[in-house]
Amino acid sequence: MKKTVSFSKNAINVFFHILTSCNLKCRHCYINTEQHGKNKLPISTINAWLGIFTKKSIKTNVIFLGGEPTMHPDLSLAIKKAGDLGCNSITVDTNGYLFNDILSKVKPKDVDYFSFSLDGATPKTNDWIRGKGSYDTCIAGIREAVSRGFATSLIYTVSRANLHELDMMVPLIKNLGINRFFIQVIGLRGKSAEKGPEKSQVLHSQWLGIIPEIAQKVAELGVTVTYPKVFLGPKEIFECAGLADTINAWMEEFNNNILSRILYNKYFKNIRAKRIAQSQYSSFSGGKLSAYDKTIKKGSKILGWDWRLLASMIYQESEFKPNVRSWVGAYGLMQMMPKTFEKYGLDTTASPQQQIIAGSKYLKHLEGQLPEEITDSTDRIKFTLASYNSGLGHVLDARRLAMKYGKDQDIWIDNVDYFILNLSDEYYYHDTVVYYGYLRGGETYNFVNEIFKRYDDYRNLISE
């Protein structure tokens, strides 16, 4: 029997959230991007943390989570790194969409379990909780994993919305060939916390009257079943408090580690702001970013943007160097192609001021080509920047992919940006809704993100 997460007294489980993005919008999702952020950990950071997790013991059970962890393009590398470090077990929790062709990138010997989340025995109940089409996709994902020889487990998060179908899971588990079954209590975090316990959590009598009986029926199939106690008796002791001692000991050691100082500097010190402050193109005492601020402010009025945002975009393109030329022929402060210059009656002899005004007009033109359904002003800017970098066609491709896969095609972060990023993946650029084919989407994804990160720095350091 393969190993996975264990809730025994001496077990070491690491629930590793490698990103917060997800293609679904589950009603009980515990991720809160305001608290948990929107970052996707780079593989170098993932590997560094895995090294720390396994430093003391190879008995660590690693569970890769998200968001939806299979949306991370380097999940297979993280799995193999965990294996190389000798982790006790490696589990991937998934909603069943199995992005990035993950089942082809790893083998059954690399992963102990793919653990699928299903919150109803029927599409009606599950899809009301997790999203339209998620039931059929999850079932198909389980069957595909089983057919490839992977061990599978199933997680059923019990709530008042699906308790009535728990007994129907018994024949379904048998039919699917599931190896382990986790009955999970809904936690009052994220979206479920907004509703309150009276609208989501089951009663004491319901839990004790139904859960043990269903667990017994599943166990009789030869399937390992795990479920939490949830409710304590009057004289029973809550035994997780000792975890604080373990955490404190770990933190004491970690704080003496070089990685802790790197992470502290990255997330708690504004290194970017310091770098900008010390750079040759900033003069904060005079409120200047470049020699072209006056013209940039004129260009920003054409767009209706904050001038510091346009300045960040220009720096991203050229570092305020008016004569720079890219390998594809893009030229000048705003890295426009010769044909685009021609539209505005210019060529590569244009002055820096002419370049900025022409580029601003072109950005305005692109913004006007975007669908009216994109109503949020910040989203429209991000779509415009992406179109400037990659071409409008690729952005429209990403919108169509977002709509097809259940995301919001009018929102950039955690929706369309994911599909821009993955237009370099054959699985997506060969999709029937993609008309413009392959894109080095990582460049466009980073282009937009870097501009807005720098814009935040500019706003903190330069008055409007």
pLDDT for position 273: 47
Q: How many residues does the chain have?
A: 464
pLDDT for position 13: 87
CB 366 within 8 A of CB 374: no
Whole-prediction pTM: 0.54
Closest CA to 89 of 116, 109, 66, 117: 109
Per-domain boundaries in the chain: 12-253, 281-461
Q: What angle do CA 188, 191, 192 make, to 5 degrees?
A: 35
- Note whether 12-253 and 281-461 share their fold: no
pLDDT for position 7: 67
DSSP H or E stretch at residue 15: strand 12-17
CATH architecture label of 12-253? Alpha-Beta Barrel (3.20)
Low-confidence ranges of the chain (pLDDT < 50): 195-198, 241-242, 273, 277, 280-285
Query: Was domain 281-461 assigned CATH 3.60.20.40?
Result: no
pLDDT for position 456: 86
CA-to-CA distance for 398 and 433, rounded, in angstroms? 9
pLDDT digits over 179-195, tens only? Answer: 999 999 876 555 555 54
pLDDT for position 258: 61
pLDDT for position 283: 46
DSSP state of 144: H
Give start and end residues of each alpha helix (H) in 405-434: 417-421, 426-429
